Structure 1
Amino acid sequence: MQHIYLTYLKATSATGLFSRTFCWLLLLLFFSQCKEKVKLPPPSPDNGGLFLPGNFQAVVVADSLEGKARHIAVNDNGDVYVKARYGGADSSIIALRDTNNDGRADILKRFGGVGKERGYGTAVRIHKGYIYFSSELLVYRYKLTPGKLVPEGKMEIILTDDHAHGMHEHIAKPLSFDDQGNMYVPFGAPSNACQETNRTPNSPGIYPCPLLEDHAGIWRFSADKLHQTQRDGTKYATGLRSIVAMDWNQADKSLYVLNHGRDDLLRLWAHKYTPWQSAVLPSEEFFKVREGMDGGWPYFYYDQMQKKKVINPEYEGKAALAGKEKDLEQPIFGFPGHWAPNDVLFYTGTQFPERYREGAFVAFHGSTNRAPYPQASYFIGFIPFKNGKPTGEWEVFADGFAGVDPIVNVSDAHYRPMGIAMGPDGSLYIAETEKGKVWRIMYTGEKDTFGEPQLAQMEKRKSLSHLRTPDEVNDNLDKGVVVAGEKIYNTYCGSCHQRNGLGDNSRFPPLANSDWVVGDKNRLIEVVLNGLQGPIEVKGQSYNNVMPQHSFLGNEDIAQVLTYIRQNFGNTASAINADEVNKVRNALHVQNTSTTK
């Protein structure tokens, strides 16, 4: 430091006012850069379990948050706001503050209770001095109080989803804002593929699909008007089955979203799709959203290997759809199937190397329904952008969340990345849903020397089973399965309840030690024959999703699969035979359409 000051005095005495000014500016630049680096806290051991490109490091901001975590937002002063996965009377938002600059939150407060809510449909964003967040059916906001961690004003209701919701698929309410005072909110499709009987094998699709009128799209609203409903908004885009990841890109003033593709190609159309095709298709589509665009749901899906729209099996032979794919919006990028992209952020900071500027970070939450192949994704990806267009292939930016490879069951994964936010200094914050952990990722190297050598180690991770395209034979987890009922379970049940019977801890309940499984035989048989929808409670946790009917299975097949689940996963209940299934089937007047017994 003394050497720099003496150099400054020598230069200014010899060269006059201009040189003194120039040197002073150089000193200011030098000290500002030093100050920025000093502010970065030391990383956690092993980066909190994450694999990152060279010279990136991570510190664990918070661990094991009660209520766990979904989306995340960071205020201009560095305060972190986490949307709890499971809300409560006073814990919908978890506010975190680091007062000693060690990177870890030492103050934690909760606010914004909206009653008992499921965590599936959550968002939190900071916009023009307000913190906006959502439950499944409502969008709320508070005015942030400068200097205060918790807002002091009253909670306001911005939007209410007033549709009838006994049970609703894809009910998430992510949020995004443009710079013209508008707020964008998706209304997901209450269906997998608009079938006459939802999620039922060989059931045809309804044409035209009536759900497109007020669902399966994005609506634009005023960001400041209170007590709006969907009727107060404008339909901005349609043909989008389920949107959870959404961001407004300031570089080209456009909305970008990632669409979750449909499920169950194998379970619903076993004579048309192989297990491998069902595992990798259809694509998770990355769209630049233009007003009035049509993404194609439910009539078409995107095949990332053929790089084209393909008609869904429910709509094959519909003459009215011939050639319609030419009018549909094509994705700017097609990711492999069932990767569950649940947040996206366009990076506008300056802390990271220049190649990350304007690019998109995507949180891939991880698949649940790739059986009989390993589950996939569970990482933070990056797509380089320039002038509003991707410039290359997707990259692995942060990995190691799952902690295991292969990931056979969702519950095997230690963490599942969900929310992404950028801090005021350009750090990247990541929240995950399983244990409520939050990381802050920082760049500590020389930005000018960052390049391919630092990225090479991350490229190698694409060979791991949770990131590579699975080998159709060698990666099939059903090789050698001979136990009666097990293969039926893996085909029709394992995609939701998982191969270990533990469910996914969010949408699909566990079968292990569940009274629904080991209790009344007739009730269990009835659930399989008729399906189940509406709220239920399993082992103290609420669930509200679709259990599709499986009456298409023969009595013997149902008996075998129910016996399998009653005598596995730690269950020790008695067997079920085909006569017992037939008796319940006749009492319910459910036709047996199976070609087996």
Structure 2
Amino acid sequence: MEIADVVTGLDIPWDIDASIPGELWFTEQKGLVHRMNLKTGERKVMLALDDVLFRKSYGLLGMAVHPKGNYLFIHYTYQVNDNDLQQVVNSRLVRYDIHNEELTNRKVLLDEIPGNTYHNGSRIIISPDDKIIFSMGDAGRTDQTQRDDFLVGKIMRLNLDGSIPEDNPVSGSPIWSRGHRNPQGLAFGRNNILYSSEHGPNNDDEVNLIRKNANYGWPDVQGFCDQPGEQEYCDEHQIMEPLIAWTPTIAVAGTGFYDSPKIPEWQNSLIVANMKGRALRVLNLTEDGEQVDQEHIFFQKYFGRLREVAVAANGDVFVGTTNTDWHPRFQPWMYDGLPSGPDRILRIRAVNKSEMIDSLPVLKEDDEAMELMSEGWQNPVGEEELAEGQKLYIQNCLACHNPEGTGAPGLYPPLANTNWVTGDKIRLIRTLLLGLSEPIEVNGETYNQEMPSYAHLSDQQIADVLTYIRNSFGNQADGVLEGEVFVERQSLNK
């Protein structure tokens, strides 16, 4: 096999579609849809969204091109309110006509889907019976994943015009299955079997076989029905267990089905991209497609974080990296030797021996999975960070908020014992980046003094001063990372 770049210089390619022979469609999370001629290499931006809300794990997410080349479907997040300090997030599913090399006739198929700063999904795929299959994460609303009056935590099925198929299990609803945490991949295999890959919490990333009206258990069941309390729930609700699960989690992502004779060892297999696991996993299926027979690991750590997989009809496999996304900035200790530079799309294809180039490195199947470090979401604060933050506090904050962080009654709010400081880090970071010019309420008292923007400070300086105030004046909270500031600044500067 040959592995080569087909697209470089990308910023978080989220979805790839190779369903049109000779073409490659792909997205960037910041709101761009690209179309590429694989023969000539010519590339065109087909769509640049002006209302996408892009930050961390949300933005332009799922995409699918109809196999006949007449429709494009996308799912993306957008901001509902005008308050950049406390954004309200929704998402929508949209269809475009593809006509004369342009996208026309935008039509919103699903709107005002409740969103969040995490777990918005998503993937889109066109089924063999010409329906839209669309996955949506729980959007942090775990109490709604089992309820059929909410769309979060579901895999959905719609007609191409957005109407509800008459044979859907819930009358008048797009819901096809429920009890999902955050599905990240969709693929159809032999016998039109639908598969999904799904993020677990700190355990039990899953690959599931998706059936009509089935329940996959979240949040009451994680992975298999093998924990105290889960078995009774599984029996009562007829929970579908996964085909395979991974603990610790490897961050399963995009999934494709491979059945080409070009790579016979991969026939009748699911190809699953891994972000945290930094590998491509090939899951050989049994003949009936109902079980995983063998698991193979390829390219571990070589290309870094892998987010998406698309399989073309000719047997070529396209894989998108995601090394520039938020995760390595928030948890740098987890990623030794991560490739630098922009993201790219790779093509894996079978070649004859005469086409092989001796000077290229030879990559082989990995014998075992690498050991994953703890995510350690709590960011411990050391003396060095506090010292740097204290200097910045004295220079920039002390005049108004006082040496002890008490502020001034009626003029400047206190920094001690307030949720504004020890609570939502996103709001706190954005307060420094944007400043304040409107009244705010702190500990029951209203303050209406202007605070200037401190966007001139570097990401590290903002992280240091916020870490200091979150751990001074009697406060005790985890620190702020430079990467967290970077993500918020990037979102505001879009």
TM-score (norm 2): 0.65
**Residue 464 (str. 1) matches residue 391 (str. 2):** no
Contact 2:280-2:300 at 8 Å conserved across structures: yes
The superposition leaves residues 187-217 of structure 1 with CA deviations (integer Å, 9 ceiling, x where unpaired) of 32132754xxxxxxxxxxx9x9769843212
Provide the residue aligned with 1:481 in structure 2: none
The correspondence of residues 194-593 of structure 1 with structure 2, limited to 5 A, is 194=143, 213-225=150-162, 233-249=173-189, 251-262=190-201, 281-302=202-223, 308-310=225-227, 323-326=232-235, 327-352=238-263, 354-366=264-276, 377-385=277-285, 386-401=287-302, 415-433=304-322, 434=324, 435-445=342-352, 457-460=364-367, 462=368, 464-466=370-372, 490=376, 492-493=378-379, 526-527=419-420, 529-531=422-424, 537=430, 571=464, 575=468, 580-581=473-474
How far is 1:68 from its partner?
Answer: 3.4
Shift of 1:261: 1.1
**Which segments of 5 or more consecutive residues in structure 1 lack a partner in the other structure?**
1-55, 195-205, 263-280, 367-376, 403-414, 447-454, 467-474, 478-489, 502-510, 542-565, 585-597
Q: What are the Cα deviations for residues 117-153 of structure 1, in whole angstroms up to 9, with x where unaligned? A: 22545122222322322213222333445xx6xx325
Q: 1:182 to 1:526 in 2, by over 3 A?
A: same
Q: Distance in 2 between matches of 1:77 and 1:235?
A: 31
CA distance in 2, matches of 1:160, 1:134: 9
For 1:189, what is the secondary structure of its paired residue? Answer: coil
CA distance in 2, matches of 1:57, 1:333: 29
- Look up the SS of the partner of 1:293 in the other structure: coil
Say if 1:154 and 1:258 are closer, same or farther in 2 by CA, change over 3 A.
Answer: same
The change in CA–CA distance for 1:523 and 1:245 in structure 2 (over 3 A counts) is farther
Q: Distance in 2 between matches of 1:284 and 1:398?
A: 20
Question: Match of 1:261, as an amino acid?
Answer: G
Cα deviation, 1:84-116, whole Å, max 9, x if unaligned, reads: 1211xxxx202222445xxxx3x2221222214
Does 2:96 match 1:142?
yes
1:395-421 Cα deviation digits (max 9, x unpaired): 11333445xxxxxxxxxxxx4211211
User: Partner residue of 1:114?
Assistant: 49
Aligned residues: 380
In the alignment, which of 131, 144, 166 is matched to residue 182 of structure 1?
A: 131
Task: Find the partner of 1:63 among 8, 27, 45.
Answer: 8
CA distance in 1 between counterparts of 2:475 and 2:431 reads 27
Contact between 2:16 and 2:320, CA under 8 Å: does it hold in 1?
yes
**1:296-326 deviation per Cα after TM superposition (whole angstroms, max 9, x unaligned):** 1111212xxxx54435xxxx7xxxx771223
Change beyond 3 A, Cα 1:530–1:569: closer
Distance 2:146 2:94 in 1: 31
- Name the SS for the 1:300 alignment partner: coil
Question: 1:155 deviation in Å?
Answer: 4.1
1:80 aligns to what? 24
Partners of 2:47 and 2:103 within 8 A in 1: no
Evaluate the alpha carbon distance shift between residue 108 and residue 531 of structure 1 in structure 2; reply closer, same or farther with a 3 A threshold. same
Q: Which secondary structure state, in structure 2, belongs to the residue aligned with residue 285 of structure 1?
A: strand
SS class of match (2:175): strand
Contact 2:27 2:60 (C-alpha < 8 Å) held by counterparts: no
Offset at residue 253 of structure 1 (A): 1.2
Conserved? CA contact 2:125–2:187, under 8 Å: yes
Match for 1:286: what amino acid? V
- How far apart are 1:568 and its partner, in Å? 9.4
The question of whether the paired residues in 1 share the 8 Å contact of 2:73 and 2:95 is answered with yes
Question: Measured at CA, do residues 70 and 231 of structure 1 come closer, stay the same or move farther in structure 2, by a change above 3 Å?
Answer: farther
Q: Which amino acid letter does the alignment assign opposite residue 234 of structure 1? A: P
Task: Please say if residues 298 and 366 of structure 2, whose CA atoms lie closer than 8 Å, have aligned partners that are also in contact.
Answer: no
Which amino acid is the alignment partner of residue 310 of structure 1? Q
Q: What is the CA RMSD across the aligned residues, in angstroms?
A: 4.3
Q: CA deviation at 1:432?
A: 1.7
SS at match of 1:387: coil
Structure number with the higher helix fraction is: 1
Cα distance in 1 for partners of 2:45, 2:6 equals 16
**Cα-to-partner distance string for 1:410-442 (whole Å, 9 max, x where unaligned):** xxxxx4211211234211111122223011111
Q: Distance in 2 between matches of 1:140 and 1:574?
A: 41
User: 1:222 deviation in Å?
Assistant: 0.7
| Deviation of 1:445 (Å) | 4.4
The 3-state SS of whatever aligns with 1:252 is: helix
Whether the 8 Å CA contact 1:221–1:232 is kept in 2: the answer is: no
Distance 1:492 1:301 in 2: 23
| Cα distance, 1:239 vs structure 2 | 1.0
C-alpha contact 2:92 2:113 (8 A) present in aligned 1: no
Distance 1:157 1:342, change over 3 A: farther
Write out per-residue CA displacement over residues 23-60 of structure 1, whole angstroms, 9 at most, x where no aligned residue.
Answer: xxxxxxxxxxxxxxxxxxxxxxxxxxxxxxxxx21111
* Number of the residue aligned with 2:35: 95
Structure 1 CA distance for aligned equivalents of residues 98 and 291 of structure 2: 35
SS in structure 1 at match of 2:2: strand
Percent sequence identity is: 13
> SS in structure 2 opposite 1:580?
coil
Aligned residue number for residue 109 of structure 2 = 159
CA distance in structure 1 between the partners assigned to 2:426 and 2:317 by the alignment: 39
